[in-house]
Structure 1
Amino acid sequence: MRIGVVFPQTEIGPDPDAIRAYATAVQDLGFRHILAYEHVVGADPEHYAGWTGPYDVRTQFHEPMVLFGYLAAFTSLELVNGILVLPQRQTVLAAKQAAEVDILTRGRYRLGVGVGWNPVEYEALGQEFSLRGRRIEQQIELLRRLWTEPVVNYVGAFDRITAAGLAPQPVQRPIPIWMGADSPPAFRRAGRLADGWFPQMPPGPRLIDAKGIVDDAAREAGRDPDRIGMEGRISYGPRGSIGVVEEAAEWERMGATHVCINTMGAGLGGVDDHIAALTAVSTHIRRLARAPG
């Protein structure tokens, strides 16, 4: 099981030196990948009465593709979007940016995608929130074509390409596409289309049911469900590294191929506190990690 970390960007701030210190420490501690969330803009809760979203206009998010270009310059970690809100982005531009990250990381990249939850963000980016499910399915097809075909002709409901292609193309052809999933339609979409998925739930009965839906959808699409990866997410909490290790073992029993450890929301301070928490975890968790493959 490959063990990585969630980049705690909402808490360590915008300082490039802090980002470098964090990523370097993650690599030195033996973690395998960094996963980054994304939001392009945040909503002002004073304007939206009853706002309940987990993030707002004050929450700091780095643009992940630019961030990954920076990280690729000084680490050999796998970089992972977890997730990129694909339907609010231009498909061809997202394909180009992903290809560039794949090149800069020498193929150590996974593109996690999802439909998101914030209609305010969709409006700001000029996309229709209600069409996001339909759009992402067409986008995934088109991304894979752009990464594997030198010249693409495509006419769909949301995109049109006439005799055009990307150069240079990525190292991985195609780049692995993983999907965030928190509902039966998203579980089925992951089973039909994705190389892997990010369950938005802890190990337990709901995950068993969700994985069953993913696996059934894969079989119906003529795919082998055992070839679809699954990455769990573990929140660092009051029980510290012991709690993380116990939950990682649960994820391993559930068949996870990857897990990532999230130190955000644990009441930690700046970058040094996040690194200290991961240092404590790393001393206990190595036995769960398989050899590099």
Structure 2
Amino acid sequence: MKIGLIYPQTELGGDPVAVREIGLAAEALGFDHLLAYDHVLGATHDREPKLNGPYTEKQPFHDPLVMFGYLSAITRRIGFATGVLILPQRQTALVARQAADVALLSDDRLRLGVGLGWNYVEYEALGQDFASRGKRVSEQVELLRKLWSEPLVDFTGAFDRVDRAALNPRAARIADGFICADGAADAFAQAARLRDLLDQEGRAKEGFGLQCNMLKAKSPEQVVETALRWHEAGGTHAAFATMGQGMETRGQHLGYIESVADALRKEGMLEG
């Protein structure tokens, strides 16, 4: 199983040095991937309808594709994962281009995880409809696949129209899988449910990626224990978080990352 870490962007004040140091440290310590969350805007929660998500206007976020483009130039091996990019609030063709270029410039090290989001203020600011986001994302995934694989696309959907145009696909590819957040929900129950759904759809379990963002694991020992259980449950990828543990500096985050790497190495779960 491949183990990575979640970039602690909400606790580092948008520090550009932290992006560089944590990205380089993650690669040097032998982690498989660096995962980044996505929010274009934060918003105050004192409004109607209520916003109930975990972030407000006070938490800074880097755009994950921009950050990965930067990190791809200063690293050589580590993979990058969006966990998740809020696809329906974005223009589909633009996401296709941006993701293709990150994949190209990083030598195909990008895994693009997409989802719906919860912040309707972002949707409004980006000119997209919040209520139809579920329907739109299904269409968008279909269009992304076409733009990444076909030399000329003629597509008419309920939300997007591409009139005989081409992305000129190069290195990008899209993988099938699901990202579970263990803490926001029970990732292990989700994994079992996903296997049942794959059976119902007649799809093979082999090759279907299962990533666990290990949000409940708050110590190196808990990270190891959760990662071992996830592997036994058929998981393919897992990432741990340093956020939410009272760390105030990038040095504290880096120290914790190193201690997790040591614990994983003792269990033979990390090379190096």
State the TM-score, normalized to the length of structure 1. Answer: 0.86
Whether the 8 Å CA contact 1:236–1:266 is kept in 2: the answer is no
Shift of the 78–94 alpha-carbon distance from structure 1 to 2, 3 Å rule, reads same
Structure-2 change in CA distance of 1:221 and 1:11 (3 Å): same
Secondary structure of 2:151's aligned partner: coil
User: Residue 45 of structure 2 aligns to which amino acid in structure 1?
Assistant: P
Change (3 A) 1:217 1:54: same
**8 Å contact from structure 1 (residues 38, 61) kept in 2:** yes
- The answer for the alignment partner of 1:185 in structure 2 is none
User: Secondary structure, in 3 states, of the residue corresponding to 1:130?
Assistant: coil
Q: Which amino acid aligns with 2:22?
A: Y
Instruction: State the match for 1:163 in structure 2.
Output: 164
Tell me, which stretches of 5 or more residues in structure 1 are unaligned? 177-194
Seq. identity, %:
41
What RMSD over aligned residues (CA atoms) do the two structures have, in Å?
A: 2.2
Q: In structure 2, how many angstroms separate the alpha carbons of the residues matched to 1:50 and 1:124?
A: 17
C-alpha distance after superposition, 1:105-161 (max 9, x if no partner): 101110000011111111111111111111111111110110011110000000000
Residue deviations 1:82-114 (CA, integer Å, cap 9, x gap) = 000001111000100110110011011100000
Q: 1:170 to 1:290 in 2, by over 3 A?
A: farther
Q: Which residue of 2 aligns with 1:201?
A: 182
Query: Would you say the 8 A contact 1:203–1:250 is kept in 2?
Result: no
Question: How far apart are the structure 2 equivalents of 1:202 and 1:251?
Answer: 14
User: What SS does the corresponding residue of 1:161 show, helix, strand or coil?
Assistant: strand
Are 1:70 and 2:70 matched, yes or no? yes
1:234 is aligned, of 200, 214, 225, to: 214
Q: 1:163 to 1:261 in 2, by over 3 A?
A: same
In 1, Cα distance between the equivalents of 2:110 and 2:241?
Answer: 19
Residue 269 of structure 1: aligned partner = 248
2:10 matched to which residue of 1? 10
Name the CA shift for 1:201/1:214 in 2 (closer, same or farther; >3 Å). same
Name 1:215's counterpart in structure 2: 195
Contact 1:203/1:251 (8 A) holds in 2: no
In structure 2, the partner of 1:251 is: 230
Given that 2:5 and 2:34 are in contact with CA atoms closer than 8 Å, whether structure 1 keeps it comes out as: yes
Q: Unmatched 5+ residue regions in structure 2? A: none
Tell me, yes or no, if the aligned pair for 2:183 and 2:216 is still in contact at 8 Å: no
Q: Deviations over 1:155-212 (max 9, x none)?
A: 0000000110113x2314x332xxxxxxxxxxxxxxxxxx1111133599x5454334
1:24 is matched with which residue? Answer: 24
What TM-score, normalized to structure 2? 0.92
Letter in 2 for 1:245: V
Query: Are residues 202 and 15 of structure 1, via their aligned partners in 2, closer, same or farther at CA, if it must alter by over 3 Å?
Result: closer
Q: Which residue of 1 aligns with 2:37?
A: 37
1:261–1:201 Cα change, 3 Å = closer
Provide the C-alpha distance between the structure 2 equivalents of 1:61 and 1:244, rounded to a whole number of angstroms. Answer: 24
Cα deviation code 1:30-85 (max 9, x no counterpart): 11100000000111234558643210111100111111111111013101000000
**Corresponding position: 1:152 with 2:163:** no
The 8 Å contact of residues 187 and 212 in structure 2, kept in 1 or not, is answered as no
- Inter-partner Cα distance in structure 1 for 2:71 and 2:247: 23
Pick which of 69-78 and 246-255 moved more.
Answer: 246-255
Does the CA contact (< 8 Å) of 1:146 and 1:165 recur in 2?
Answer: yes
Where 1:227 maps in the other structure, the secondary structure is coil
Query: Structure 1 residues 87, 12: CA separation in 2 closer, same or farther (over 3 Å shift)?
Result: same
Equivalent in 219, 225, 228 of residue 205 of structure 2: 225
- Partners of 1:146 and 1:197 lie apart in 2 by 21
C-alpha change, 1:251 and 1:127, in structure 2 (3 Å) is same
**Alignment match, 1:282:** 261
Once residues 271 and 22 of structure 2 are traced to their aligned partners in structure 1, the CA distance between those partners, rounded to angstroms, is: 23
Q: C-alpha offsets along residues 223-247 of structure 1, whole Å, 9 cap, x if unaligned?
A: 2023211111223765x21121112
Assess if the C-alpha contact under 8 Å between 1:43 and 1:120 holds in 2. Answer: yes
